[in-house]
Amino acid sequence: MIYRVLNHLREAFRKCDLILLLLLVVTTVFGCFSIASATTASALGPVRYLMVQIGAAAAGVFCFVLVSSVDANFFSEHRLTLVLVNMGLLLLLIPFGTDNGSGNRSWLNFPFLPFDIQPAEICKITYVLIMASVMGARQNNLSSPVSIGHMLFHIGLTFGLNVLISGDMGVSLIFAFIFVFMTIGGGVSWFWYLLGGGVIAVMAPIAWQFFADYQKNRILILFDPNIDPLGIGPKYHSVRAMRSLTGGGLTGQGLFNGTRTQKNLLAAQHTDFIFAAIGEEMGFIGCAFAMLLLFLIIARCIWVGLRSPDYMRRLICFGAAGALVFQIIVNVGMCLGIMPVIGLTLPFISYGGSSLITLYTLLGLVSGVYARPTPPVHERYIRPPTLALRYY
């Protein structure tokens, strides 16, 4: 039995996208060096953080290979199960949720586990699969009101549950961006985007009234220089991040030598603001190298998607790329002071075991599309959808 499992994994490794896997490993190694430097001045020291990150990377590679061995049609046939998994994970936040000091009830804390789990990270994977399955089943009439309503139901369910239960708007917006990225890539009529933009414009002033003061300030400081001109209030973290970035110059102050990083003066410098720590210690060259690695990962995802003639498989790749694009834009934008601080990490570079594992798993779906760009021959004729899949 063990021999058969190992043989299956060996065969899956041989067929998976080794170029994508290599890019992920190189980016993770670069992230480990950055984390080690950013945690030198912490109370726990860098060893503990590196052990968690390296262990998560090893588990991530295993998940990458394992998921890439599963055909996309299997996930599509179990769409209802994926929806129930999403709902179940998010509902678990009610009895077991904890804020981990972030102010958002976004993590599951089980006494028998040595780490916390963020359900929204796992839901990113299942949501991409759900959307690809829904759009694939309705690709011949994708822009019809019924099809649009079906897609809006799923984004509303996932986005709404996560916001209501966890209060984490930043992570919830990832689902919205995945939705937009996949629908554009899937060919939804532009009429719906214009209509949606109009609805958002009308509803925005109403929704604004429900934002907390700190949430309003995070947005207003991007446009009003009179809010916190000294940088000691809402701008505090962004101002420090910008000073670190500009203080690094072209080549940086040197790894383990950053003025602010080594004094632990940057907030969340190993997670949310690790890009600022990289800029201070490795300069513009280090930041450019990090962005190049992430760009190559996204480009690879899109290339694999465009290479596949199968509509649903192509959308899976676009959804994975969309999740990465949004997270990178927001994280780097926070450090540059052009995006509100909403607590999103830099993929594969920031510290976070559960986040790293889920990212590898998400990209494992792309690798699966690389290994099987089209359905097996015996499945190319579309079977009639079951009642559950048709209406859910």
Q: How far is CA 355 from CA 127, 193, 311, in A?
A: 16, 31, 28
The predicted pLDDT at position 97 comes to: 83
Q: How far is CA 372 from CA 7, 19, 199, 367, in A?
A: 19, 16, 40, 9
The predicted pLDDT at position 388 comes to: 45
Average pLDDT over residues 198-218: 83
How far apart CA 184 and CA 193 sit, in angstroms, is 9
What value does the mean pLDDT of the chain take? 87
Percent of the chain residues topping a pLDDT of 70: 92
* pLDDT band with cut points at 50, 70 and 90 for residue 290: very high
The predicted pLDDT at position 346 comes to: 94
Average pLDDT over residues 240-251: 87
Percent of the chain residues topping a pLDDT of 90: 51
The predicted pLDDT at position 381 comes to: 47
The predicted pLDDT at position 277 comes to: 93
What are the pLDDT digits (tens) for 308-363?
A: 999 999 999 999 999 999 999 999 998 888 888 887 899 999 998 888 999 999 99
How far apart CA 182 and CA 351 sit, in angstroms, is 28
In sequence order, what are the residues at sequence separation of 6 or more whose Cβ sits closer than 8 angstroms to the Cβ of residue 12? 65, 66, 68, 69, 371
How far apart CA 301 and CA 277 sit, in angstroms, is 27
For residues 5 and 153, the model is more confident at 153
Q: pTM of the entire structure?
A: 0.91
Average pLDDT over residues 256-283: 89
The predicted pLDDT at position 283 comes to: 93
Gyration radius of the chain's alpha carbons: 21
* pLDDT band with cut points at 50, 70 and 90 for residue 43: confident
CA 382 to chain centre: 31
- The partner residues of 97 in beta bridges, in order of sequence, read 108
The predicted pLDDT at position 221 comes to: 80
* Amino acid occupying residue 262: Q
Q: How many CB atoms lie within 10 A of CB 197?
A: 10
The dihedral formed by the CA atoms of 69, 302, 55 and 113, expressed in degrees to the nearest 10? -80
Of 104, 49, 155, the C-alpha closest to 344 is 104
* pLDDT band with cut points at 50, 70 and 90 for residue 114: low
Q: How far is CA 116 from CA 84, 121, 203, in A?
A: 21, 12, 35
Tokens of 104: 């958002």
Average pLDDT over residues 265-293: 92
The predicted pLDDT at position 1 comes to: 66
Checking if the pLDDT of 8 tops 80, the result is no
Q: Could you write out the DSSP letters of every residue in 342-357?
A: ---PPTTTS--HHHHH
Domain assignment of residue 383, given as a range: 2-391
* pLDDT band with cut points at 50, 70 and 90 for residue 158: very high
Point out the least confidently predicted range of 15-24, 370-379, 383-392.
Answer: 383-392
The predicted pLDDT at position 88 comes to: 93
What are the pLDDT digits (tens) for 61-111?
A: 999 999 998 888 888 888 999 999 999 999 999 888 887 766 678 888 877
* pLDDT band with cut points at 50, 70 and 90 for residue 392: low
Checking if the pLDDT of 262 tops 70, the result is yes
Of 36, 46, 49, 24, the C-alpha closest to 353 is 49
Q: How many domains does the chain have?
A: 1
* Amino acid occupying residue 132: A
The predicted pLDDT at position 386 comes to: 46
Strand, coil or helix: 98: strand
Average pLDDT over residues 236-254: 86
Residue 45 zone, left/alpha/beta (φ > 0; ψ -120 to 50; rest): left
Answer whether 301's CB lies under 8 Å from 322's CB.
no
The predicted pLDDT at position 376 comes to: 67
Checking if the pLDDT of 6 tops 90, the result is no
Checking if the pLDDT of 7 tops 80, the result is no
For residues 264 and 359, the model is more confident at 359
Answer whether 361's CB lies under 8 Å from 63's CB.
yes
How far apart CA 339 and CA 209 sit, in angstroms, is 21
